Amino acid sequence: MHIQAKEKTLTRSRITALTLAIAASLGVAACGSSSSSTSTTSSSGTSTTSSSSSGSATLDGAGSTLAAPIYQQWGSNLKSQGLTINYNPVGSGTGIADLQTATVTFAGSDPALKPTDTKGMKGPAFQFPVAFGAITVSYNLPGVKSGLKLDGPVLADIFSGKIKTWNDSAIKSLNPGLSLPSTAITVVHRSDSSGTTNGFTTYLSDVSPTWASSIGSGKDVKWPTGTGAAKNSGVAAAVKQTTGAVGYVEQAYALENGFTYAAVKNSAGTYVLPTISNTSAAADGVKVPADLGISTINSANPQAYPIVSQTFLVTYQDPCKEGASSSVAAGLKKFLTYAFGPGQQTLGSGSSQLPYAPLPSSLAAKDNAQLAKMTCNGSAL
Amino acid sequence: MEASSATVSGDRSALQRSPLHRLPDRVLRWGLTALAVLILALLVYFFIRLIGQSHLALSKFGFSFVFGNDWDVSRNIYHGAALVVGTLITSAIALLIGVPVAVATALFLIELCPRRARTPLSILVDLLAAVPSVVYGLWGVFVLGPKLIPVERWFANTFSFIPFLGGGGSSITPGNYFIAGLILAIMILPIVSAISREVLATVPPEHKEAALALGATRWEMIRMAILPYARPGITGGAMLGLGRAIGETIAVVLVIGDAPTIGHHIFDQGYSLAAVIANEFGEAANTPIHSSALFAAGLVLFVLTLIVNIIARWFVARGTRGMRAAGDITDAVDAATVGSGALQ
Amino acid sequence: MNGVTLHGISARRRRTDKVMRASLFAATLIALVPLVLIIYYLLYKGLKAWSGSFFTTDPNGNFFGNPGGVRSAIFGTLEIVGLATLIAVPIGICVALYLTEYGKDGPFASVVRYFVDVMTGVPSIVFGLFIYIVLVISHAGGTGFAAWKGSLALSLLMLPIVIRSAEVVLLLVPDSLREAALALGAPRWRVVTRVVLPTATPGLVTGSLLAISRGMGETAPLLFTVSLAFGLTGNLNAQMNSLPLQIFTDITNPRSVIVTRAWGAALTLVALVLILNLVARAVSRRSRMA
């Protein structure tokens, strides 16, 4: 009796002991092999952590999913210089909200800062344009592998459900050389809120007054027709699965996965494909306000692809005032200098470049000028 | 099973135990009570913060947040009737499909299955709980959804005369109420089955043997001796499953179609309260009215679960009250009925 | 039975019995079909990501070439969920003990029960947002995002499951056992710790496993509380990687090699939970009384 009783109580404590032992050994193992960025919190109680050794720092960021591959690649490239960059692609809105509470050092945001965003910041904040990504109109029509041309009003009618089949006269008149089947058009749009939807609907509102008044633009709109899919990958998969489907997909995704997309008419009247160079052209010559809050939708440049989204890196003018340690601020400066300089070489159409359009040199210069204005507790970084 | 070697301390009788000996009892009692109070306080605090964050949206939209049907993010209008309806429909489908299958599985494993196969099969069923929700959603939207479209279309067209269950066959997409409910049913299966198994394993053998001795077939024994005894526990498991179904986010996001409209057919696209939070919060965080609306959606879920739970507990209480009062009598009556059936 | 003629079971009842038994068997098969399909799908998509370096290197953020493995995610999940389990399971069992042994049908216990029931229906993302508002934004503990805050969010998720399932199981311990122990003179606390708990242990383990399995696969609570970090770390007061977040980040990446890594991580997650289930069952079986 005693023995059995002992066994029973032993089991519970055995489970607990086992769990504790595993946890302890994991902790020891992990601590022993953790990377150089061992985090110690700075005295002013901040989220941004740093190491006291030479010039190394950990930068925490969050925000846009479009820019995630860029920041993650730059993080990998800068590791040898002692910088650890943790970027959480949770969405532009949360990135801004995190920055407003100084929970991250920098935020990635596709749309420029709204007045309400700036008002919620703890101090003056800077936005730096970092890269550009086109929004392709990808479709699935077995007979039409290339050469499809669409213009703004037709796109608006397709995505609002007014044009229902591929051989509609409106599409035919833009594509006299193509034989278009009578397949029904299935519109695929994003079901989750996203900056990509924002860019696409901004373009549609620009080119179609009916769209602007009935549906409008935003990170999420009331689509009158079509099916919703979550994230780029969802839209891409839905387009691939359904014959006759058309959807809007980020350029990086479309290029990496071999999608078929249409050439879209830009503001100068030319039908342009979403190549990297045509995407860069959209940033060239666009009006740049003082706070660098540009918009590259429907750019005036005659070579530009008309549906291009920009992505910003947003941070405080004086990070130290919001709790960052001086080494984190120095790390941030190193990161930003890289971002507007050598980092831009990692973007482009080359086989080992990330499929995003880099900054035109004039814009990079403006970014650097704004960077020079950043301070740490009043003194220059 | 015997009690552990609990011996009386020394040669004192229990009645004469000193206060010092009662101390561990007191400590345990008050410790556990304090812990329960703490947990309750935490849950209440959670509820209060949730109300606080929802206040902006609820004060602006009032009742039309729940009963109005217009979820328009770009215009910042948040009337979520479509979300509530979608949540109720998918959870109902999940329960209707998932609970019977789960209980049936538990019955098979405990009562009918050869002993050696029981453990491996149980582990397999429980393994369904190991799959992360995002995998369920992706499998649902890439594999199950497209594969079932022809079946759904056939069903909708053949039974188009039945309201809601039929009709709407012309515009079926991989994501709809039915697929969402089906995926949820699969997700709640391990929970309901595991708990049902625990419950069924503790049905007193006397009940079962009595029924069998009186000539009941195996199934009659299950129906008359086991199920009534196990009903409260199984309902508890079903409530846990319901909780999972109501609150599941990622999987539903991927397979419900995400259309903020009230669908008229079971194969229409829809939306749910939990899915909308997952879909929109990433971008809504810096728009106060939008994020408040999403918190309000969470609050509505909270209240919805409360109402459903109250109804369920009331059902169970009715059943067990009768049982407790006439427990042995019921067993005897059942056994007698079975016996008399045997003599026919 | 020799020499006594008993009327046999009628054909109708025999048929019903056969049909129902076949149905129960069929239901079990139906329940297993999705499992087989999903495991097959997971293996098909994720097995090719598995390799030695998959488990021994951290993700490095490279878009081209070798993107690294998921070592830091595995360790992170074990650490975060481990801490959450240490919080949720003991507290949950204690609250369930209170409800079954002391509170019973009293008004306070009923209120606790209702709240716990309702909490099982709260979406996981709301727990994450709650911790985000209360602990992350306020920089509690000196940091914004931290692994222990993620553990708290997970334990909020796991607690109602543990309490609810433990309550069901504890109620199943027959009163006769308790009364027998009390009649032998055992004090109340001994009855609870030496009779009730050991009897219920297998069921408690099952319930806790359900909660832990749930906790391991949840993304949303971690998304807003722990955030993401690629490096391996044991520091619970900083950002940490985890398998669900690694999957979340990778699965929408344009690069297919990185998407495959996401599937490999999902397969790893399922394997981890399976191992956990097997180990816990083996340990608890030793004390099975029947």
DSSP for C171-196, please give it: HTS-HHHHHHHHHTT--HHHIIIIII
* A29 contacts in chain C (CB < 8 Å): 75, 234
Q: What is the pLDDT averaged over residues A213-230?
A: 89
Could you say which of B237, B247, B281 has the minimum Cβ distance to residue C168? B237
Contact C201 A8 (CB under 8 A): yes
Contact C232 A88 (CB under 8 A): no
In the predicted model, is pLDDT for residue C134 greater than 50?
Answer: yes
Domain containing residue B147: CATH number: 1.10.3720.10
Judged by DSSP in three states, B217 sits in coil
Q: What is the pLDDT averaged over residues C271-286?
A: 82
Residue with tokens 């196969």: B117
Give the tens place of pLDDT for each residue, B192-222: 998 899 889 888 889 899 999 988 888 889 9
The answer to the question of residue C208 being in a domain is: yes
The answer to the question of residue C217 being in a domain is: yes
pLDDT-derived band at A148 (thresholds 50, 70, 90) equals very high
Q: What is the pLDDT averaged over residues A42-58?
A: 52
pTM, entire model: 0.85
Q: Which domain holds residue B246?
A: 81-277+286-337
d(CA A264, CA C37): 42
Q: Are residues A268 and A345 in the same domain?
A: no
Q: Which domain holds residue A172?
A: 134-307
Q: Are residues A253 and A301 in the same domain?
A: yes
Of B306-310, C165-169, C266-270, the least confident: B306-310
Q: Are residues C155 and C244 in the same domain?
A: yes
In the predicted model, is pLDDT for residue A64 greater than 50?
Answer: yes
* B132 contacts in chain C (CB < 8 Å): 216-219, 244, 247, 266, 269-270
Q: Are residues C109 and C141 in the same domain?
A: yes
Q: Are residues A238 and A360 in the same domain?
A: no
Q: Of A264, A257, A262, nearest to A237 (Cα)?
A: A257
To 5 degrees, how large is the angle CA C56–CA C62–CA C66? 50
pLDDT-derived band at C282 (thresholds 50, 70, 90) equals confident
Query: How buried is residue A145: exposed, middle or buried, by Cβ count under 10 Å (0-12/13-18/19+)?
Result: exposed
Contact B286 A97 (CB under 8 A): yes
The answer to the question of residue B13 being in a domain is: no
The answer to the question of residue C280 being in a domain is: no
Contact A216 B74 (CB under 8 A): yes
In the predicted model, is pLDDT for residue A357 greater than 60?
Answer: yes
To the nearest whole Å, the CA of B89 is away from the closest chain A CA by 19
In the predicted model, is pLDDT for residue A60 greater than 80?
Answer: yes
Q: Are residues A166 and A96 in the same domain?
A: no
Q: What is the ipTM of this complex?
A: 0.85
Mutate to test the interface with C, among B18, B46, B111, B301 (most CBs of C within 10 A): B46
Q: Phi-psi bin for A362: left (phi > 0), alpha (psi -120 to 50), beta?
A: alpha
d(CA C290, CA C285): 10
Per-residue pLDDT, C20: 92
* Subunits close to B (at least 3 CB pairs below 8 A): A, C
Domain containing residue A254: CATH number: 3.40.190.10
Contact B33 C213 (CB under 8 A): no
Q: Are residues A281 and A327 in the same domain?
A: no
To the nearest whole Å, the CA of B310 is away from the closest chain A CA by 33
Per-residue pLDDT, B332: 45
To the nearest whole Å, the CA of B211 is away from the closest chain C CA by 14
d(CA C102, CA C97): 8
Q: Are residues C42 and C74 in the same domain?
A: no
The answer to the question of residue B159 being in a domain is: yes
Q: Are residues A302 and A153 in the same domain?
A: yes
Of A15-24, A33-42, C228-237, the least confident: A33-42
To the nearest whole Å, the CA of B253 is away from the closest chain A CA by 7
Q: Which of A291, A307, A323 is the last residue of a domain?
A: A307
Q: Which residues make Cβ contacts (< 8 Å) with residue C87, sequence separation at least 6?
A: C151, C152, C155
Give the tens place of pLDDT for each residue, C4-58: 555 677 888 899 999 999 999 999 999 999 999 999 999 999 999 999 999 999 9
Q: Which of A275, A307, A339 is the last residue of a domain?
A: A307
Q: Which of A259, A275, A307 is the last residue of a domain?
A: A307
d(CA B75, CA A10): 62
Q: Which domain holds residue C191?
A: 70-253
Tokens of C202: 């297998």
Contact C142 A256 (CB under 8 A): no
Q: Are residues A204 and A65 in the same domain?
A: no
Domains of chain B: total: 1
Domains of chain C: total: 2
The answer to the question of residue C177 being in a domain is: yes
The answer to the question of residue C126 being in a domain is: yes
Contact C254 A5 (CB under 8 A): no
Chain C interface includes B307 (CB < 8 A): no
Q: What is the pLDDT averaged over residues C76-94?
A: 96
* A88 contacts in chain B (CB < 8 Å): none
pLDDT-derived band at A15 (thresholds 50, 70, 90) equals low
Q: Are residues C74 and C202 in the same domain?
A: yes
Mutate to test the interface with B, among A117, A191, A215 (most CBs of B within 10 A): A191
Q: Are residues A288 and A322 in the same domain?
A: no
Per-residue pLDDT, B336: 47
Domain containing residue C95: CATH number: 1.10.3720.10
Could you say which of A12, A23, A256 has the minimum Cβ distance to residue C201? A12
* Subunits close to C (at least 3 CB pairs below 8 A): A, B
Could you say which of C24, C125, C277 has the minimum Cβ distance to residue B277? C125
Contact C79 A30 (CB under 8 A): yes
For chain B, the three-class secondary structure string (H helix, E strand, C coil) is CCCCCCCCCCCCCHHHCCHHHHHHHHHHHHHHHHHHHHHHHHHHHHHHHHHHHHHHHHHHHCCHHHHCEEEECCCCEEEEHHHHHHHHHHHHHHHHHHHHHHHHHHHHHHHHCCHHHHHHHHHHHHHHHHCCHHHHHHHHHHHHHHHHHHHHHHHHHHCCCCCCCCCCHHHCCCCCHHHHHHHHHHHHHHHHHHHHHHHHHCCCHHHHHHHHHCCCCHHHHHHHHHHHHHHHHHHHHHHHHHHHHHHCCHHHHHHCCCCCCCCCCCCCCCCCHHHHHHHHHHHHCCCHHHHHHHHHHHHHHHHHHHHHHHHHHHHHHHHHHHHHHCHHHHHHHHHHHHHHHHCC
Give the tens place of pLDDT for each residue, A112-139: 999 999 999 999 999 999 999 999 999 9
Chain A interface includes C218 (CB < 8 A): no
In the predicted model, is pLDDT for residue A275 greater than 50?
Answer: yes
Of all residues in chain A, the one with the smallest CA distance to C279 is: A15
Per-residue pLDDT, C3: 52
Mean per-residue pLDDT pooled into runs of 10, chain B (344 residues): 45 61 86 93 93 94 91 90 92 94 94 88 85 88 89 87 79 85 94 90 89 89 89 87 86 84 86 90 90 93 85 72 47 46 44
Q: Are residues A154 and A117 in the same domain?
A: no
Domains of chain A: total: 2
The answer to the question of residue C26 being in a domain is: yes
The answer to the question of residue C54 being in a domain is: no
Could you say which of B131, B143, B194 has the minimum Cβ distance to residue C210? B194
Contact B287 A116 (CB under 8 A): yes
Q: Are residues A313 and A269 in the same domain?
A: no
The answer to the question of residue C261 being in a domain is: no
Could you say which of A11, A90, A102 has the minimum Cβ distance to residue C284? A11
Give the tens place of pLDDT for each residue, A65-115: 999 999 999 999 999 999 999 999 999 999 999 999 999 999 999 999 999
